Structure 1
Amino acid sequence: MIPQTAAEKLLVPGEDAGERLDRFLARALSVQVERARALVAQGRVRIRGRTCSPHRKLFGGEEVEVTRPAPRAAAAAADEPALAALFDDPDCLVVDKPAGLPVEPARPGAPSAVGAASRLGRFDVAGRALPGLAHRLDRDTSGCLLLARHDRALAALKGAFEAGRVEKSYLALVAGTPPDEGRLDTPYARDPADPRRFTGRVASARRARLRYRVRERLRGAALVEVRLETGRTHQIRVQLSEAGYPVLGDAVYGVAAPGLARQALHAWRLAFPAPSGAAVAVEAPVPADLARAVAALREEPRG
């Protein structure tokens, strides 16, 4: 559950004897060490009713009492859209992010998915009343975005991503005629010619892997389902482009498409273990602009 402003009591395990208080708190509360030290410095951490130094060595068996402040409110943006919740529980939230809305604000008070989602219940992450980001989507990618309601949930969700226990499936509208299915496994790094771009055509210890299958063949294009095995920045757009099947509407790595004002990429399905232990799977409906683009490519050209 979300930590409240009432005191939270933590029992120091015997195996943590000799550990510093600030490091124990950081681990027990799933916060940064700096955040733990700030709580101690503010007098919000007590042992046997007394405040103490963040560098205090623990003996094991103590009860540490922590009283957190109410989370700080963030600057609100007036023009943020209302987001549809695809899943919601006391630990986390999945929203359907529209294309064109950045995940994080470009400046204080600017519209963002994080800001819009903050109106959907209570959040307390790093002392702020904002959702915690377990992963990200590009500004012009629509679909499932997973958010944490509190610090422990954020740590659990990030751990699930790192352990490969989260399934991310996308729908992409691509140019060309890709094979019915395939797997791409390449190096991955910033493009030496343009650090704003990424590429799989350079030597790198980092790898990028995905699988895809064609769901529907269209006129000069295909609708493909992509399952990410790694989560690199711009990965789907880069790997499909360099394989010869660029994403339609992608102004950086892809090709222009009539009627599409953004890249034809949608985070369609997300399956993950919730911090509660529940197995969760959600799908974001295909947005209207992509549905129209697919329908247009099904039609026979008029002579």
Structure 2
Amino acid sequence: MSLQKLTVPREAAGARLDKFLSAHVPGLSLERARGLIEQGHVRIRGKKCQPTRKLWGGEEIELSRPEPRAPARRFVEGPELPVLHDDASWVVVNKPAGLSVEPAGGNVPSVVELVAARLPPFDVEGQALPGVVHRLDRDTSGCLALARTDASAAALERAFQEKQVDKRYWALVLGETPERERLEGPYGRDPKDPRRFTTKVRSARRAALSYEVRERLRGATLVEVRLETGRTHQIRVQLAEAGHPVLADALYGPDETRTHPAAGAVGRHALHALRLSLPGVSVEAPLPEDFQRALALLRGA
């Protein structure tokens, strides 16, 4: 149990206790603040309080945090998760294809559960699990950052919002693309198929990315993609709708993406999160073997 003390400034007089805490304790959400108050972990002059209590300014708040709750399931055995960076704030791993980021039920471990078991400690939203601020599709490999604490989760989320994060992906796409291109448009769920997303909808949400060619191959192109927004399936959707579907993408590509000889070599959509740059951290995830096999085949090796 850790104890934190905060003195309420005079100019905060009249503020609600729960809102004051969520605004002044890094990473503490309003919901989490209310929960801690209701559980008796927030006291003023030694007494329990209500979330709606009005502050008068000058008083001292004592905030105690209980030990984080252990996860409901504990997986130690599972796919290898090479660690690209590890400090008191963030862990960055090289996620393998075929592994979900967050728990999805069943007996298959997720990245979050494996990292929690192998690289403790974590304390995010009162749980002994890493905080997820950005995601990779199940069959996308590469750089994935996870937060150790509420404060580091909030800092990571703020870095994304303030465009301080640079994410670069490598994708093998069918056909010959322009040398470089920027794609932007509305983004939303496909009204004809809830599993899919599309830019061909009316939506206030936007999706934007740019790419440039890294290598021209036999019937395909290796491109490096820079994400400007982080929408679900975004790279796969925008490249496919621009006429350059990701190789072996069963959801967004035509039959050719699955029957192409290199599709069998990679065995999943050929998308890899190659580099990730956060404030003070820059890492690169080596290309996995399946991606390298597809590249070798396309090069004619």
CA contact (8 A) 1:186 1:208 kept: yes
Name 1:234's counterpart in structure 2: 233
Provide Cα deviations, 1:245-267, integer angstroms capped at 9, x if missing partner.
11001110121113221110001
**2:20 matched residue in structure 1:** 24
Q: Which amino acid aligns with 1:26?
A: S
Q: 2:115 aligns with which of 114, 117, 123?
A: 117
| 1:22-71: CA deviation from partner (whole Å, max 9, x where unpaired) | 11122233223232122122221111222222221112222211111100
Q: 1:89 to 1:78 in 2, by over 3 A?
A: closer
Q: Does the CA contact (< 8 Å) of 2:140 and 2:271 recur in 1? A: yes
Show structure 1 runs of 5+ residues with no match.
Answer: 274-278
Match of 1:103 among 101, 104, 107: 101
* Comparing 224-233 and 198-207, the one that deviates more: 198-207
Q: How many residues align?
A: 291
Residue aligning to 1:72 = 69
The percentage of aligned residue pairs carrying the same residue is: 60
In 2, Cα distance between equivalents of 1:205 and 1:169? 25
> How big is the shift at 1:109?
5.7
Q: CA separation in 2, counterparts of 1:21 and 1:82?
A: 44
Q: Does 1:296 align with 2:297?
A: yes
| Contact 1:77 1:109 (8 Å CA) reproduced | no
**In the aligned structure 2, how far is the partner of 1:42 from the partner of 1:192?**
43
Q: Give the Å deviation of 1:204.
A: 2.1
Is 2:9 the partner of 1:9?
no
SS at match of 1:117: helix
CA deviation profile, 1:109-136 (whole Å, cap 9, x unmatched) = 6410101111212100010000001111
Task: Tell me the amino acid that sits aligned with residue 161 of structure 1.
Answer: F
Match of 2:270 in 1: 264
- For 1:245 and 1:262, how far apart are their aligned partners in 2? 16
Q: Deviations over 1:136-192 (max 9, x none)?
A: 110000011111111111111111111222111000011100011111112211112
Which of 58, 63, 84 is the matching residue for 2:60? 63
Deviation digits for residues 182-226 of structure 1 (CA, Å, limit 9, x no counterpart) = 111122111121121111122222211111011011100011100
Amino acid across the alignment from 1:101 = L
Separation of aligned partners in 2, 1:56 and 1:204: 40
Q: Is the 8 A contact 2:209 2:229 kept in 1?
A: yes
1-structure distance, mates of 2:65, 2:79: 31
* More helix as a share of residues: 2
Contact 1:80–1:115 (8 Å) recurs in 2? no
CA distance in structure 1 between the aligned counterparts of 2:115 and 2:10, rounded to whole angstroms:
40
Q: Which runs of at least 4 in structure 1 moved beyond 3 Å after TM superposition?
A: none
- TM-score scaled to structure 1, two decimals? 0.92
Aligned residues of 2:76 and 2:114 also touching (Cα < 8 A) = no
Question: Is the contact made by 1:188 and 1:208 (CA closer than 8 Å) also made in structure 2?
Answer: yes
Contact 2:189–2:198 at 8 Å: present in 1 too?
yes
Structure 1 range deviating more: 209-218 or 36-45 = 36-45
Q: Does 1:141 align with 2:147?
A: no
Residue deviations 1:66-89 (CA, integer Å, cap 9, x gap): 111100111113543242111111
Task: Give the corresponding residue for 1:169.
Answer: 168
Q: Residues 296 and 133 of structure 1: is their aligned pair in 2 closer, same or farther, counting only changes over 3 Å? A: same
CA contact 1:98–1:143 (8 Å) conserved in 2: yes
CA distance in 1, matches of 2:108, 2:297: 34
Distance in 1, matches of 2:149 and 2:78, equals: 22
Which residue of 71, 90, 93 maps to 1:92?
90
Change (3 A) 1:109 1:33: farther
Query: For the Cα contact (< 8 Å) 2:266–2:293, is it kept in 1?
Result: no
User: Deviations along 1:80-106, whole A, 9 cap, x unmatched?
Assistant: 324211111111111111000000111
Q: TM-score, normalised by structure 2?
A: 0.93
Question: Superposition pairs for residues 174-189 of structure 1, below 5 Å?
Answer: 174-189=173-188
RMSD: 1.5
Compute the displacement of 1:107 (Å): 1.5
User: Which letter does structure 2 place at the counterpart of 1:217?
Assistant: R
Q: Secondary structure at the match of 2:244?
A: coil
